[in-house]
Structure 1
């Protein structure tokens, strides 16, 4: 005789609701990657940037110039401009998903 599996509908629904709320309350990338330029820390995580990155963060360069020096042209990375931090209340970012390079252009 096989034992019937006990249905736990309420527990299953509660698990789904908890997972949905967790997903909904997750911080946005703009919050996670925001940066305090005075202390070089990320306010959300409280972690400091590596010292080797400070120089790059303080000065902006053209996006393609940055991407050209990176492996796979920086696909998967987030980029922002310091000027945007002053102009907008919510930080703005570029997320590099695909790069199509025109090697004939100057």
Structure 2
């Protein structure tokens, strides 16, 4: 979903957009727990995303020079933070 959103070759998606499609992320935002705990949960949710994308999907094989940039300091207070993706197009494998 992340790789195919946005402008061709320069896709991106905000955390808020992701939360609309991923119930677990939405639950973090709407949780009654304190901000510190919710921020830790959010950061843990993204800890292994790139590793999972490399090992469990074909994305890095399908898109030339695929790069995923997740902000280092994710925060529930900043739902418009953007996960940036860059690639040089579909390889057609």
What's the TM-score once normalised by structure 1's chain length?
Answer: 0.28
Higher relative contact order (CA 8 A, sep 6+): 2
Structure number with bigger Rg: 1
